[in-house]
A = this chain, B = another copy of it.
Amino acid sequence: MAKYWTTPAVEALRADGVRISELDTSATPGFTGDKAAGVESLAERTAVLSGLQEKLYANGRSGDKRSVLLVLQGMDTAGKGGIVRHVIGSVDPQGVDHAAFGVPTPEEKRHHYLWRIRKALPRGGQLGVFDRSHYEDVLVVRVHDLVPRSEWEPRYDEINAFEQELADEDTTVVKVAMFVSLDEQKRRLRERLERPDKYWKFNPSDIDERAYWPAYQEAYQAMLERTSTDVAPWYVIPADRKWFARLAITELLVEALETLDLDWPKAGFDIQEQLRRLEQA
C-alpha cells in the first residue's frame, strides 16, 4: 500500500453504501496526507503507473489479450478532462486507447446504445479510457426522459451482462464517478466565463443542467446501486480537490494493474544465438 493511505484505494473509495446526496465532495477518503503530501505521492505513484502500463503494453505486443478500461463519469466540471490530461497523460500514448462519448451522432442513434461503445473497447495490452460512456444512457437519458422508462430500465441489467462479457475477455474495468459540490461547480463555471482561455469549455446549457442536480443525484445513485458488481465495481471520487481526484484515480489504476501480476514477456528466441547473429550482421 502506498504511503499516507490507511487502506487500499479500492477499498476506501468503493461505492458500496455511499449516499451521493450526503457525500462530502471535499473529503479525501483513505488518504491521510495534505495537499503537499498528495502532490508528492502523485509524482511517485505516477512513475509506478507508467512502469506497470509499459508492462501491460509489452505483454499485449507479445499476444497477451488482457487490457484495462478506465470509465470516467461525472457531471460538467467534475474534472474528467483533467484526469485524462494529467493521469493518462503520464503514460505512453502508444498504449492508450482514448474515446470520448458525446451526444450520439445520427449514425450512432440508429444503432443500439452499446454499438459505439463496443467499437471503442481497448485492444489487448492497451489502457482504454472512456470519457463518459454507456452510463450516459442511464444518466442524461433518464434525467431528461430521452427514452421512456420501459426502455432505460432494462439497461442496468444489460450493462451488467455487458461488463461480465468484458471481464470474461480479460478486460479489467475500473469505473470512477467524480463528484463536486454545487458550489464548487459554480466556481469552476465562473472561471470558464472569466478567462478567455477557458471560454471554449463553457456551454450555456451547463447552467440549465444545474436545475436538474437532484435528478442527476438520483440517477447516479441508482447507477451505483444497480451496476456496481464484483467484476466491475464503481468507485466514488470526491473531486472538489483536484489533487486528490488525480491521486485517487492514479492509485486505483495502480492497484488494478498490480492485480494482473505482470512480468516482462519472456524472449521467444534463443538470446545467445541472436547475439551471435547480430555480431556478424
Question: Which residues does A use to contact B, with CB under 8 Å?
Answer: 58-59, 61-62, 81, 84-85, 88-89, 91-94, 96, 98, 100, 129, 131, 186, 189-190, 193-194, 196-197, 199-202, 204, 207, 210-211, 264-267, 269, 271, 274-275, 277-278, 281
25 CB < 8 A contacts A-B: A58-B197, A58-B200, A62-B200, A81-B94, A84-B92, A85-B93, A88-B93, A89-B93, A93-B96, A94-B98, A94-B131, A96-B98, A186-B278, A186-B281, A189-B278, A190-B275, A193-B274, A193-B275, A199-B271, A202-B267, A202-B274, A204-B274, A207-B274, A207-B277, A207-B281
Residues of B within 8 A of A278 (CB): 186, 189-190, 193, 207
Q: How far is the CA of A229 from the CA of B252 in the complex (A)?
A: 48
Residues of B within 8 A of A100 (CB): 94
Query: Smallest CB-CB separation from A271: which chain B residue?
Result: B193
Known pairs A62-B200, A267-B202, A269-B204; A89 contacts B92 (CB<8 A): yes
Query: Smallest CB-CB separation from A263: which chain B residue?
Result: B196
- 13 more contacts with CB within 8 A, not counting A199-B271, A210-B281, are A62-B200, A93-B129, A96-B98, A189-B278, A190-B275, A193-B275, A199-B264, A199-B265, A200-B264, A204-B274, A207-B274, A207-B278, A211-B281
Distance in Å from the Cβ of A209 to the closest Cβ of chain B? 9
Distance in Å from the Cβ of A219 to the closest Cβ of chain B? 19
Q: Are A266 and B92 in contact, with the CB atoms below 8 A?
A: no
Residues of B within 8 A of A267 (CB): 196, 199, 202
Q: How far is the CA of A264 from the CA of B199 in the complex (A)?
A: 8
Q: How far is the CA of A89 from the CA of B90 in the complex (A)?
A: 7
Query: Smallest CB-CB separation from A92: which chain B residue?
Result: B85
Q: Are B92 and A197 in contact, with the CB atoms below 8 A?
A: no
Q: How far is the CA of A84 from the CA of B32 in the complex (A)?
A: 36
Residues of B within 8 A of A271 (CB): 193, 199
Query: Smallest CB-CB separation from A88: which chain B residue?
Result: B93
Q: How far is the CA of A91 from the CA of B102 in the complex (A)?
A: 22
Task: Choose among A62, A193, A269 the residue with the greatest number of B CB atoms under 10 Å from its CB.
Answer: A193
Q: How far is the CA of A80 from the CA of B45 in the complex (A)?
A: 26
Residues of B within 8 A of A59 (CB): 200
Instruction: Say which residue of B84, B88, B98, B202 sits within 8 Å of A269 (CB atoms).
Output: B202
Query: Smallest CB-CB separation from A54: which chain B residue?
Result: B197
Q: Are A84 and B93 in contact, with the CB atoms below 8 A?
A: yes
Task: Choose among A93, A94, A131, A266 the residue with the greatest number of B CB atoms under 10 Å from its CB.
Answer: A93
